[in-house]
């Protein structure tokens, strides 16, 4: 059974389509205008396919298409029109429509197009689920006692309605943990809405959060609901909340306390039921002391605080993470046999990873792209992993630099190999690279 939203201001067509799809066992919401369609979407109805007429008063099919693409990207939109031209068809597809149906059409035709859209949706969801599993699961299967304690607390907190504040350095995976808390919660079937507080100007971020009314500011050509409305019944995740301006802190505090707000330029109070998870890489207590962050908002957010540890404090997770990320990237790049050499793995293990999991992911993705054969060697890793070699690393109880450990590995390989080529093969690098490293380290 599929969920369909059918929109057409011609009552006969609307009734005919609704009756047909209901007879096929589909769940159908049929409305006579684009504005009614927006109301249906804002009420929580999440269609897999939107079948809409193009030319309608007030909110036409293209405006509805743009809204669905922005707010519900998993929904496919099929445009219907009695004014079909090649130009309009091309325009519809460029705007993001899944398909384009010229009127009149038969019920078999529309059934075929909808079935193809549903199949596409199924494949998209399966691909995203696979990607999420491969990319996010590593963070949630830790060998670190520190990380596992955090995840246990997160699971307990997920069962409550408490506001959660995630702290920690950039790149540690706070967004992944926030999403998992939502999945563990009773709200898991409702929306999980992400708002990045660093990417927009104050005016645009205010509109993104609370929505706006037509004419509220230059460019506000129609009413627009905000992300907090979209998260009604679910969870809103505010990434880098420490970057909110003082004015937005004040307005968001009221929402956090009362679960209500007004759109920009509006006077009607909108009440929602939205859980808040916030994240920051700043020390908010220090920001409060410096009068850069409101103390009352800080205490409102700081109900349950989870500090995500940096990767250098859970070094036992580096290689399992690297292997899982490699699995995901190799699958995405259609290179299923790609492996990490022991030498490349040793370098990954010793590097301090100031950019945390994000930096590790970027390094693995780069290596997957550059590796010519089915083995990732040190040659395929970013230069930064070697430039940082002057920083100390703990290995076997002694403090050595990466350069010292690499030199020892080369000396040992040369001593145990009959030729330069054999030593290079043992190290997982080519002979010319080994020759340059031998010259660099002045190894006889």
pLDDT higher than 80, residue 193: yes
Strands 392-395 and 398-401: antiparallel
Determine the average pLDDT of the residues in 294-305: 95
CB-side neighbour CA atoms (13 Å) of 204: 8
> Which CATH number fits the domain that encloses residue 116?
3.40.50.2300
Q: pLDDT per residue over 118-163, tens digit each?
A: 888 777 766 655 555 555 565 677 889 999 999 999 999 999 999 9
| 32 and 115 belong to one structural domain | yes
* Structural tokens at position 34: 């684009």
| 175 and 298 belong to one structural domain | yes
Contact between 352 and 387 under an 8 Å Cβ cutoff? The reply is no
Per-residue pLDDT, 136? 56
pTM equals: 0.60
Count of C-beta atoms within a 10 Å radius of residue 2:
17
Of 42-56, 198-212, 405-419, the poorest mean pLDDT is in 405-419
Q: Tell me the CA distances in angstroms from 268 to 21, 215, 271, one per residue in order.
A: 37, 15, 10
Q: pLDDT per residue over 341-363, tens digit each?
A: 999 999 999 999 988 988 898 89
pLDDT higher than 80, residue 217: yes
Q: pLDDT per residue over 362-408, tens digit each?
A: 899 899 988 988 899 999 998 888 864 444 444 333 444 556 667 77
CA 434 from centroid of its chain's CA atoms: 40
pLDDT higher than 90, residue 417: no
Q: Output the DSSP codes for 36-91.
A: HHHHHHHTT---SEEEEES--SSS-HHHHHHHHHHH-TTSEEEEEESS--HHHHHH
Nearest to 321 by CA among 127, 335, 312: 312
Contact between 198 and 243 under an 8 Å Cβ cutoff? The reply is yes
Where among 309, 335, 350 does a domain terminate?
309
Q: Band of the pLDDT at 218, cuts 50, 70, 90?
A: confident
Q: Collapse the DSSP code of 426 into the 3-class scheme (helix H, G, I; strand E, B; otherwise coil) and give the result.
A: helix
| 52 and 170 belong to one structural domain | no
Q: What percent of the chain has pLDDT over 70?
A: 89
Q: Band of the pLDDT at 7, cuts 50, 70, 90?
A: very high
Q: Band of the pLDDT at 295, cuts 50, 70, 90?
A: very high
Determine the average pLDDT of the residues in 221-247: 91
Q: pLDDT per residue over 57-88, tens digit each?
A: 888 888 888 888 888 887 889 988 887 666 76
Where among 252, 274, 309 does a domain terminate?
309
- Residue 101: domain span: 3-131
| 274 and 174 belong to one structural domain | yes
List for the chain the helix, strand, coil content (%; round to 5): 50, 15, 30
| 302 and 370 belong to one structural domain | no
Q: pLDDT per residue over 243-264, tens digit each?
A: 999 999 999 999 999 999 999 9
> Which CATH number fits the domain that encloses residue 330?
1.10.8.60
Per-residue pLDDT, 241? 95
CB-side neighbour CA atoms (13 Å) of 164: 31
Per-residue pLDDT, 398? 41
| 164 and 24 belong to one structural domain | no
Where among 131, 156, 174 does a domain terminate?
131
Of 298-302, 417-421, 436-440, the poorest mean pLDDT is in 436-440
Per-residue pLDDT, 164? 97
Determine the average pLDDT of the residues in 177-192: 91
Show Cβ contacts of residue 144 under 8 Å, excluding neighbours closer than 6 positions. Answer: 309, 313, 314, 316, 317
| 211 and 302 belong to one structural domain | yes
Nearest to 350 by CA among 290, 314, 395, 390: 395
Per-residue pLDDT, 84? 63
| 327 and 390 belong to one structural domain | yes
Element housing 211 (H / E): strand 211-212
Alpha carbons 14 and 30: distance in angstroms, whole number:
7
The strands making up 304-307's β-sheet, listed across from edge to edge, are: 192-196, 235-239, 275-280, 164-167, 304-307
Nearest to 297 by CA among 354, 349, 249, 260: 249
* Structural tokens at position 402: 């990466």
Of 93-107, 292-306, 307-321, 386-400, the poorest mean pLDDT is in 386-400
Per-residue pLDDT, 141? 79
Per-residue pLDDT, 389? 42
Alpha carbons 366 and 360: distance in angstroms, whole number:
10
Query: What is the domain count for the chain?
Result: 3
Alpha carbons 197 and 275: distance in angstroms, whole number:
17
């Amino acid at each position: 059974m599929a969920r369909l939203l059918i929109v057409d201001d011609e009552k006969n067509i609307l009734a005919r389509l609704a009756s047909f799809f209901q007879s096929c066992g589909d769940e159908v919401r049929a409305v006579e205008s684009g504005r009614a369609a927006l109301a249906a979407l804002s009420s929580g109805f999440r269609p897999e396919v939107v079948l809409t007429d193009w030319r309608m008063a007030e909110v036409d099919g293209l405006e509805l298409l743009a809204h669905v693409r922005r707010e519900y990207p998993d929904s496919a939109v099929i445009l219907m029109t009695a004014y079909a031209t090649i130009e309009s068809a091309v325009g519809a597809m460029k705007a993001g429509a899944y398909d384009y149906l010229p009127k009149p059409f038969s019920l078999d035709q529309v059934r075929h197009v909808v079935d193809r859209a549903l199949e596409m949706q199924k494949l998209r969801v399966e691909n995203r689920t696979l990607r999420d599993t491969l990319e996010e699961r590593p963070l949630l299967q830790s060998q670190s006692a520190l990380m596992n304690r955090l995840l246990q607390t997160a699971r307990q907190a997920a069962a409550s309605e408490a506001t959660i504040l995630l702290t920690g350095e950039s790149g540690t995976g706070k967004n992944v943990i926030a999403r998992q808390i939502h999945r563990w919660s009773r709200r898991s079937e409702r929306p999980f809405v992400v708002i990045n507080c660093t990417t927009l100007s104050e005016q645009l971020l205010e509109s993104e959060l609370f929505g706006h009314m037509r004419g509220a500011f230059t460019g506000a050509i129609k009413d627009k609901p905000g992300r907090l409305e979209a998260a009604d019944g679910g969870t809103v995740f505010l990434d880098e909340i420490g970057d909110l301006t003082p004015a937005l802190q004040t307005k968001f505090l009221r929402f956090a306390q009362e679960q209500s707000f007004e759109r920009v330029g509006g006077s009607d109070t909108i009440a929602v039921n939205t859980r808040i998870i916030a994240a920051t890489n700043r020390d908010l207590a220090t920001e409060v002391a410096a009068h850069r962050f409101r103390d009352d908002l800080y205490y409102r957010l700081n109900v349950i605080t989870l500090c995500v540890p940096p990767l250098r404090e859970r070094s036992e997770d580096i290689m399992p993470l690297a292997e899982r990320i490699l699995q995901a990237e190799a699958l995405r790049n259609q290179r299923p046999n790609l492996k990490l050499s022991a030498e490349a793995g040793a370098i990954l293990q010793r590097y301090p990873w100031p950019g945390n999991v994000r930096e590790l992911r970027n390094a693995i993705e780069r290596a997957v792209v550059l590796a010519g054969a089915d083995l990732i060697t040190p040659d395929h890793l970013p230069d930064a992993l070697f430039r940082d070699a002057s920083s100390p690393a703990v290995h076997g109880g002694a403090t050595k630099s990466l350069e010292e450990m690499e030199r020892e590995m080369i000396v040992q390989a040369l001593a145990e190999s009959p030729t330069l080529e054999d030593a290079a093969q043992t190290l997982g690098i080519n002979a010319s690279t080994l020759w340059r490293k031998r010259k660099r380290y002045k190894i006889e």
